[in-house]
Amino acid sequence: MKKLIFIFALMAVLVPYKLYAQGSANVNVAATVDSKVSKLKSTVETNTQTTLADPTNHSILLTITLKDADGNPMPNVLVIVTSNRGQVDIIEAVSKLAPGTVQAAEISDMQKDKTDENGQVQFRITSFISGEAILTVTADSLIILDPIKVTFEPLPFPTNITVSITNPITGKEITLYSPKQQIEQGLSGTQINAKQLVNTGTKIQLSFWFVVIPTVIIILFLLFIILNFFNLRKMRWMEQEQVLLLKKMFPPNYNRQS
């Protein structure tokens, strides 16, 4: 009887302990850790807030400096920059554009970078589309710094024009001029991907007769010039033949002999 009571007592102690141990092993504890980045001490600056919508030659340099509450720089902190216009605006971490570095495979990866030992990180901002953009900077996945507005002005002249006409008989569109697609020249990989996503070209549709009538006039004018040229050559040749004929009929010593 004493052994039976001892066994029940032992089971009463061991079973709850085992169940507690198994349950505690599966418990996930979540906690939110506040960021040490100070929004008031950190800064977001640009070298200019207005540039042309021409990624090849014009860009905006965005410099972000992260500090803590005491004003000390915050190194190795992740920074993400986004635009309210999405992928229309091209955001690239400067450190990932340095010679010898491998560019990120995805566009979104170029929008992320970590601060250096001085708590700074820089991004190059370009766009093919004119207009205003609002850039948002998120530091340490928690702190959203004050947004900054930049403006991309339209180019003074179009650089990608396609000229076409429509045949009034067949209704088929005929392309008269289309620029060569050399989009890779002077552009980064991210900029090439962005240009493929947007339509930056200008299309001009001309009237069929507006093109045909001047073309016919020009062709007729050229034919007139060519025919006149050959007629003049023929007249000169005939003149030369007449001179030779006269010389044969009236030799130079004809008058002396007579």
For 40-80, write each residue's pLDDT tens digit: 999 999 999 999 998 888 999 999 999 999 999 999 999 99
pLDDT of res. 165: 73
Domain ranges, ordered by start, for the chain: 43-153, 161-209, 210-250
Q: How far apart are the first and last CA of the chain?
A: 178
Q: What is the 3-state secondary structure (H, E, C) of 38-71?
A: CCCCCEEEECCCEEECCCCCCCEEEEEECECCCC
* pTM, 2 dp: 0.59
Nearest to 150 by CA among 177, 116, 117, 123: 123
Question: How far is the CA of 77 from the CAs of 34, 69, 189, 255, in angstroms?
Answer: 14, 15, 25, 114
Out of 3.40.1390.10, 2.120.10.90, 2.60.40.10, 3.90.180.10, the CATH code matching 43-153 is: 2.60.40.10
Q: Is residue 88 within 8 Å of residue 52, measured between CB atoms?
A: no
Convert the pLDDT of each residue in 95-128 to its tens digit: 988 765 555 555 578 999 999 999 999 999 999 8
Q: Which pLDDT tens digit goes with each residue over 155-209? A: 876 656 666 777 777 777 777 666 555 445 667 767 777 766 665 556 666 666 7
